[in-house]
Structure 1
Amino acid sequence: MHVSHLALQDFRSYAHVDVPLGPGVTAFVGRNGQGKTNLVEAVDYLSRLSSHRVAGDGPLVRAGRQQAVVRAAVVKDGRTAVLEVEINVGKSNKGRINKSTLPRVRELVGLVRTVVFSPEDLVLVKGDPGDRRRFLDDLLVLRTPRLAGTVSDLERVLKQRATLLKTAGHARRGSSSQDAALSTLDVWDAHLARVGAELLAERLALVELLRPYVGAAYATVARGAGRDDADIAYKPSFELPASVLAHPAGPDRGELAEALLAELGRRRGDELDRGVCLVGPHRDDLLLSLGRPADPGGGDPEDGPDAAARLPVKGYASHGESWSFALALRLASYDLLRADGDDPILVLDDVFAELDAERRTQLAALVADAEQVLVTAAVPEDVPAALAGARFSVAGGEVRRVE
């Protein structure tokens, strides 16, 4: 899969721009603030309907305009389709395929698959749990686009529950208004248990699939590391019964829903006091750890009691280790998507300026054979030799091919 042509209208800094692309490596080179990242951001937005730089769509529309358009010709298995998303300020966005409007814009999700490496990737290691949950959910949706609906449903349920919790918590105890709010809350608890169990089961399964890829990727990009040095684990908002996780085919959704519903009942008093939802996938985390796994035989006593212990990356890892882990998460995502049978488009957004020479060389070698790689860099020297290919100069709102 690759993008053969990209056209933007009133997207970020561009009033209008058309860029011919092709398979292999394409580098956009220009000083900061010239718009090179806007180009690759547009490709990524078409893939996920969200930006790797900002949380909302507002900043994507050029100042003073009410609408932006991202259009790309996408080639897959020798066939070309034109995908388009219309970003509307204050109104619903629209999606089109070959000029035909889709019933729902989210039907575009996953038709183009991207993996983005950027300086913001450090938040995967050093940021809040929400950053890591978003990482998992983005990958889930790229692999299984229908889960975009599950993520959206969860957000809707949480919003309704939060409103009801505040209403019931502020109402006079035993009043008719509180009774009505609590009765309605029971209904939304059931919705949260059902939707939450679906997303929780998918995340748990994804983490198990991703774990070996993370270990292998970390061993590749970190000096002297082995496959067992990096690990990930899913941490739910409450302890799941062992029986729920014991199914050979993966966590049972029905049992997960029952466990979520029971925990919601147990924590209801706390939720009413605080007016927030304390139980569910929105409170979970992805744990990242470094270190050798414990030796079942006890290891060498001379190594000391902590020699085999894993430590959380956040708070313990050096800057270089944190960068290596962030790169490993992205590389693992790429390898997992590739194992599904379709090369995602790789976007390397100003990432080489953040890496030392050795990591630059390693990363470039790992991704050089991808079907399409889009690179941004401030200066030509930031693009490794292994990623030689088409090059565009970006300056003053113009994108020019460099021969």
Structure 2
Amino acid sequence: MKQARPYPRAIVTRKAARSLAGGHPWVFEGEVLRLEPAPTDGRAAINGDVVDVFEENGTWQGAGLLSLESKIRVRIVTRNANDRVDEAFWRRRAQWAWAHRVSCMGTRALPGAAPDTRACRVIFSEADGFPGLVVDRYESVLVAQVGTVGMERLRDVVYPAVLDALAQAGERVDALFERNDSPARDKEGLPRRKGWWDGLPAPASSRVKVRENGLAFDVDIENSQKTGFFLDQKYNRRAVRELAAGRRVLDCFCHVGPFGLNAAAGGAELVRCVDVSQTALDLAAENARLNGLDGRVSFTCADVLDYLPELARDRSRLRAEGGPFDLIVLDPPAFTKSRGTVAHAQRGYREINYEALRLLPRGGYLATCSCSQHMTRDLLARAVAEAAHRANVQLKQVEERQQAPDHPILWGFPESHYLDFFVFQVV
């Protein structure tokens, strides 16, 4: 590199350089040979700093954010040597991120429904060039999760950049809530916390009403899972909605009811929503009332892993629950969060799909998914195929889907591809 850059340097191994050249944005702890001071002023790198990354042969590989307490030691933010990672840099990134959402979702709303960008992911971490930052939009409220020390140091630069990108597009934002209570922060040496960001006035309540696919949902952004709602399944829920007319639907792991309510809105004869959390079911019932669908949606508090076998064993219980069902939705939580437990998780996915397939008649439909990056598309497909073989049924694939495009998949970075969704018919 000919020009002197103002950042400290991380000298990395050839292995790390090969990985970066393939598009992966992470440098791991064991791949950093040494840290060197900035060539312009001799400044040593501190935790969260921007550092230039050089292969040991002197080849510049990019610039990234340093995490001294994490096994992921550097997260690349740019491979353009002309970039200066300053406030203008982050503002450009935020504008590009919002422009992407408008392009891929701005015209996809159902007729008469609000634009799909009214409830969407605005920033998706590395996939948008903000490593460790997630920002979701719920109408006029943003919910942010910061998971890295670099983004923690940049909060008061990055948040205004996101707000400005939305304001320039004519989008109103009244408040920003931080859900910085994820265990991922422990690995960065960051304290867990949640609360309203003091850069905007704090509203009186953390409950927000949002609309998705024309349906209203009461979202508790402070106490619900993740940032309050699972936005990544938006169009997968629409796919279920399109199949639901006249069917009896069983929505397993229903959370606050979005799959079940989409099915009811699509004309399902009956919907039974099942979740282990009574709190989630109470919100789901309220959401059904909000949409005038409570007459066709019922709720059961149960562990799905026990509930499905019980229905298969006891036909009177099945009838009492509204069955037999001819459309079953399986949207389980991630059964694995590490490579070491993938084999156990695969057995879990195989088991729940087997139990669901035992309940479906010929001609019935199964919508099933995995939301773990370690449970890859091929592993999920294999688990479902093994479940079908064990249940002695044949499956005809109707659709194969992924996460919504506001959760973009960055090629070269498989960690950004975490959701796979299949719809099958039993034949």
- Shared fold (TM-score, shorter chain, > 0.5): no
What is the TM-score normalised by the length of structure 2?
A: 0.27
What is the TM-score normalised by the length of structure 1?
A: 0.29
Tell me which protein shows more helix as a share of its residues.
1
Tell me which protein shows more strand as a share of its residues.
2
| Larger RCO: 1 or 2 (CA < 8 Å, sep 6+) | 1
